[in-house]
Amino acid sequence: MTANLLDFDLEALAAFCEQLGEKRFRATQLFRWIHQKGATDFSQMTDLAKSLRDKLPASAHIPKPVPISTHVSSDGTIKWLFDVGGGDAVETVFIPEDDRGTLCISSQAGCAVGCRFCSTGHQGFSRNLSTAEIVAQLWFAEHDLRARFAGTNTGRAKSNDLGTKSNDTRVISNVVFMGMGEPLQNYAAVLPALRIMLDDHAYGLSRRRVTVSTSGVVPLMDKLGADCPVALAVSLHAPTDALRDQLVPLNRKYPLSELLAAARRYLAHAPRDFITFEYCMLKGVNDQLEHAQQLVRLIQDPVRGVACKFNLIPFNPFPESGLHCSDRETVLVFAKILSDAGIVTTVRKTRGDDINAACGQLAGDVVDRTHVMQRMQRQRSVMPSPVASAANLALES
């Protein structure tokens, strides 16, 4: 079986070349052809030694991902659905802005965390993606968008914003692991994918512009800080353990005290001097004045607090959730309470919701091996309104 070269970071590719009897510097040349030029045909890699070009077809391949479908939003957002085999498909989203181009990628087929407000979580979990399947999303999007935007400035981050030369042709300046899956529960594949994205011989992305979003896998937050610290976003969504237990089930294993302690430890390694907390605004559940005041006390606690910014995310409804989006006025009042307390707070602009590409809407197609829908139905039969119950507990605390 031949090796998929999208699985290899530069160090692994160098070891692979040595196994073929080639010098390690050949790996750098090969790496550039794959990631910077988007080449899949070894015969076209003209500066490689002919001996290596002759060996590669029998020992390696670079599969070109082909999307099952492509949807373009009225706001320019693009969503691709990629078949990853076994009945599973994952979604990838590109969000163009004036000063950046952001790619939202998936790390798992489905998700096992089961957050109440996330469409992916309601689909259940099938499997982890390989490093190649993660990197392929960036590989395809970057080269597809270059062709799509050739000769225009549409969707392309400005050169000075990228910190690159004026003739830089990259379209994607930012990558966020905010698609399908919990990235830290697929750490073995995510780590080499991060190293590929950051490598100057591949995509050369800044650590500040690559963000891993986690629902709070505390031990692996520490490991990421030691191995490959990039920007970190933590899915918080509640100010108390009682409420967060219902919205983010992982909180039962790693409660807020442990999560905030891990966030403080991460700051010692992080490329930014703050952690981003994501907070999905759910009508009547976690959006009341008391919740905002509880957040202020939590974040500014002299022992448990952490330097952070808040990203308030309008909920994107889907039928199975039974939840609703907070009114805009409620969101703005909530944001003002945080801002007035000195906490940097932004309200995320919804992008791509007309093609179901907005935050929390990515679902793809997943062969659920966790039977999540049956479990959720059983839970509802025992506790008809678990979120409402948790909200009452939070307001009473």
Annotated catalytic sites, by residue? 91, 359
Phi and psi angles of residue 258, each rounded to the nearest 5 degrees, phi first: -70, -40
- Compute the distance between CA of residue 109 and CA of residue 207 in angstroms, rounded to an integer: 25
Instruction: Read off the amino acid at residue 48.
Output: L
Short-list 344, 345, 362, CA closest to 353 = 362
Q: What is the 3-state secondary structure (H, E, C) of the chain?
A: CCEEHHHCCHHHHHHHHHHCCCCCHHHHHHHHHHHCCCCCCHHHCCCCCHHHHHHHHHHEECCCCCEEEEEECCCCCEEEEEEEECCEEEEEEEEECCCCEEEECCCEEECCCCCCCCHHHHHCEEEECCHHHHHHHHHHHHHHHHHHCCCCCCCCCCHHHHCCCCCCCCCCCEEEECCCCCHHHHHHHHHHHHHHHHCCCCCCCCHHHEEEEECCCHHHHHHHHHHCCCEEEEECCCCCHHHHHHHCHHHHCCCHHHHHHHHHHHHCCCCCCCEEEEEEEECCCCCCHHHHHHHHHHHCCCCCCCCEEEEEEECCCCHHHCCCECCHHHHHHHHHHHHHCCCEEEECCCCCHHHCCCCCCCCCECCCCCCHHHHHHHHHHHCCCHHHHHHHHHHHC
55 CB-side CA count, 13 A: 15
- Compute the distance between CA of residue 381 and CA of residue 371 in angstroms, rounded to an integer: 16
- 88-96/101-104 β-pairing: antiparallel
Structure tokens at 340: 């007035």
Residues forming beta bridges with residue 83, ordered by sequence position:
89
